[in-house]
């Protein structure tokens, strides 16, 4: 069976790409915005007055709460995405992330309502996390299932591209606030970037309501009667190796993806003593270069395979764990900027670029959304969620950055092992990549009209 045809019209292709990437941009704008605020303001605003380091660690802990519920969101919305289609889930997850983030912008602080403030902050983080648990996976699958067979890496890269755009927007939003006095920033300035996410919600919902369902889902799942009752558990039961490859592959990409920009930003500002504007400028430069690097690495994976490119990024993570801190400890802006550029545009981009297509190709269409989201977000729980908190704790415990470097090298090494153990998929037919005994599956339910 030949692979089901992709979107043909250029205007339709652009609509598909924009619909997927706008959601990723919003998700990661919100997440990085929260991470940046945790590093810069939340410790002082939402927790009792005391040690600044303790306040920042508590803020990072609430940052990790969202990752605890992401696997639940991945299972819930992943199952819905495999049973009822990719499009409706993409609309629902976008709303949850956007509403949770916008609401943070109007929350009262600890000085106003006491312990209710951090509790409400955690609640909004939970809402964000549930939506985020399937948002990125849904966006990736929507792109890959609409892509030409030989360009799935390139098309899939627009979801992580949206991630970099969202990160860049979040860093830029806080950079615009740097001229404010500390009093103005703490009283009202910090709220503006959160409230601005409402505009992204409106644009994203408008675009996503205008796209159609993917041809792979319509023709390979619904038309062939392969809709399953519990695709998440079927993905884990029938594809255990691929499930754990996704989980392991996430450790370095997700852990370092938050450790370097979130903890790294806090470390450069509070420990190294670099001004906020200079540190944010270095990080924004890294995010800008990363935009091109992600597309480049993803396109390369269409030619040489997903595994070689991903493995290169993981091994670079091992090699760069200690040099990153050597470079930022110089206190020279050019070395700090170069450290962030290598961390984001080489280490993370080499993994993040091919990851979208790779993860989607590891599961068959009838359980692709649930398997992708469940496995990916379980990896987020183990890596990205605890990374900033653990890094801050290790520095406070030892007074040095070297345990953090060891932690980064460990995550990268584990990811390298997972990729080495995984299959190559870039030449798979994603319309029919099912196990031989699954042509008629016992858990399938009748196709919907």
Instruction: For residues 320-340, give the mean pLDDT.
Output: 94
Q: What are phi and psi of 227, to 5 degrees?
A: -70, 130
Q: Could you tell me which residue, 426 or 168, shows the higher pLDDT?
A: 426
pLDDT at position 448 is 41
Are 125 and 65 within 8 A, CB to CB?
yes
Q: Give the number of other CB atoms < 10 A from CB of residue 161.
A: 24
Instruction: Tell whether pTM > 0.85.
Output: no
Within a domain: residue 5? no
Instruction: For residues 45-65, give the mean pLDDT.
Output: 66
Are 229 and 443 within 8 A, CB to CB?
yes
Within a domain: residue 435? no
Within a domain: residue 443? no
Helix axes 116-144, 349-361, angle to 10 degrees: 70
Answer yes or no: is pLDDT of 449 > 50: no
Give the CATH number, domain containing residue 22. Answer: 1.20.1250.20
Q: Closest Cα partner for 263 from 174, 388, 412? A: 388
Within a domain: residue 173? yes
Print the domain residue range for 150: 10-425
Are 374 and 235 within 8 A, CB to CB?
yes
User: How does strand 227-228 pair with strand 444-445?
Assistant: antiparallel
Confidence of residue 336 (pLDDT cuts 50, 70, 90): very high
Q: Could you tell me which residue, 85 or 61, shows the higher pLDDT?
A: 85
Helix (H, G, I), strand (E, B) or coil at 6: coil
Confidence of residue 436 (pLDDT cuts 50, 70, 90): very low
Q: Closest Cα partner for 408 from 322, 336, 326, 337? A: 322
pLDDT at position 438 is 47
Residue 228, H or E segment = strand 227-228
Q: Could you tell me which residue, 142 or 225, shows the higher pLDDT?
A: 142
Within a domain: residue 447? no
Q: How far apart are the C-alpha atoms of 159 and 352, rounded to whole Å?
A: 10
Using the CB atoms, write b or e for 275-296: b if 16+ within 10 Å. Answer: ebebbbbbbbbbbbbbbebbbb
Instruction: For residues 23-44, give the mean pLDDT.
Output: 76
Q: Could you tell me which residue, 320 or 49, shows the higher pLDDT?
A: 320
- Rg over alpha carbons for the chain, rounded to the nearest Å, is 21
Instruction: For residues 341-369, give the mean pLDDT.
Output: 92
Q: Which residues, at least 6 apart from 34, have a Cβ–Cβ distance to it below 8 Å?
A: 63, 66, 101, 104, 125, 128
Q: Closest Cα partner for 328 from 308, 311, 343? A: 343
Instruction: For residues 269-294, give the mean pLDDT.
Output: 88
Residue 421, H or E segment = helix 402-421
Confidence of residue 323 (pLDDT cuts 50, 70, 90): very high
Number of domains comprising the chain: 1
Q: Could you tell me which residue, 114 or 354, shows the higher pLDDT?
A: 354
**What length is written for the chain?**
449
Q: How far apart are the C-alpha atoms of 177 and 198, rounded to whole Å?
A: 18
Within a domain: residue 18? yes
DSSP assignments along 96-140, one per residue: HHHHHHHHHTT---HHHHTTHHHHHHHHHHHHHHHHHHHHHHHHH
Within a domain: residue 238? yes
Q: How far apart are the C-alpha atoms of 66 and 30, rounded to whole Å?
A: 11
Q: How far apart are the C-alpha atoms of 182 and 35, rounded to whole Å?
A: 19
Instruction: For residues 319-342, give the mean pLDDT.
Output: 94
Q: Between the ranges 16-30, 49-63, 144-158, 291-305, where is the mean pLDDT highest? A: 291-305
Are 368 and 232 within 8 A, CB to CB?
no
Within a domain: residue 391? yes
Q: Between the ranges 55-59, 65-69, 402-406, 438-442, where is the mean pLDDT highest? A: 402-406
Answer yes or no: is pLDDT of 50 > 80: no
Instruction: For residues 420-432, give the mean pLDDT.
Output: 88
pLDDT at position 443 is 41
Say how far residue 413 (Cα) sits from the centre of its chain: 20
Answer yes or no: is pLDDT of 185 > 50: yes
Q: Could you tell me which residue, 390 or 143, shows the higher pLDDT?
A: 143
Are 52 and 43 within 8 A, CB to CB?
yes
pLDDT at position 317 is 95
């Amino acid at each position: 069976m030949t692979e089901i045809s992709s979107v043909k019209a250029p205007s339709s292709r652009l609509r598909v790409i924009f619909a997927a990437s706008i959601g990723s941009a919003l998700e990661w704008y919100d997440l990085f915005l929260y991470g940046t605020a945790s590093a810069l303001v939340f410790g002082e605003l939402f927790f009792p007055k005391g040690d600044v380091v303790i306040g920042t660690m508590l803020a990072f802990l609430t940052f990790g709460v969202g990752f605890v519920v992401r696997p639940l969101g991945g299972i819930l919305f992943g199952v819905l995405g495999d049973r009822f289609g990719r499009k409706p889930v993409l609309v629902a997850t976008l709303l949850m992330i956007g509403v949770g983030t916008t609401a943070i912008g109007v929350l009262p602080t600890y000085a106003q309502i006491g312990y209710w403030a951090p509790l409400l902050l955690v609640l909004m983080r939970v809402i964000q996390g549930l939506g985020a648990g399937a948002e990125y996976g849904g966006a990736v699958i929507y792109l890959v299932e609409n892509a030409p067979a030989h360009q799935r890496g390139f098309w899939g890269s627009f979801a992580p591209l949206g991630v970099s755009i969202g990160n860049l927007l979040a860093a830029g939003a806080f950079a615009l606030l740097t001229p404010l006095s500390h009093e103005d920033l703490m009283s009202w300035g910090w709220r503006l970037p959160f409230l601005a996410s409402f505009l992204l919600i409106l644009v994203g919902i408008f675009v996503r309501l205008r796209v159609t369902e993917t041809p792979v889902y319509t023709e390979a799942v619904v038309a062939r009667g392969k809709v399953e009752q519990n695709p998440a558990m079927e993905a884990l039961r029938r594809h255990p190796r691929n499930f754990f490859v996704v989980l392991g592959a996430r450790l370095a990409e997700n852990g370092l993806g938050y450790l370097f920009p979130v903890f790294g930003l806090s470390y450069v500002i509070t420990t190294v003593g670099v001004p906020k504007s200079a540190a944010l400028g270095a990080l924004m430069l890294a995010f800008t270069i990363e935009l091109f690097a992600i597309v480049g690495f993803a396109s390369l994976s269409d030619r040489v395979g997903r595994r070689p490119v991903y493995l290169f990024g993981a091994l670079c993570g091992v090699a760069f764990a200690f040099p990153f801190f050597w470079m930022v400890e110089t206190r020279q802006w050019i070395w700090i900027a170069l450290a962030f550029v290598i961390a984001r545009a080489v280490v993370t981009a080499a993994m993040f670029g091919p990851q979208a297509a790779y993860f989607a190709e590891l599961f068959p269409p009838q359980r692709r959304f649930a398997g992708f989201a469940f496995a990916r977000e379980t990896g987020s729980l183990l890596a990205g969620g605890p990374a900033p908190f653990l890094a801050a704790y290790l520095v406070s415990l030892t007074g040095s950055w070297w345990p953090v470097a060891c932690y980064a090298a460990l995550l990268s090494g584990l990811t390298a092992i997972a990729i080495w153990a995984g299959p190559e998929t870039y030449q798979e037919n994603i319309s029919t990549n099912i196990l031989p005994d699954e042509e008629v599956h016992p858990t399938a339910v009748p196709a919907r009209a």
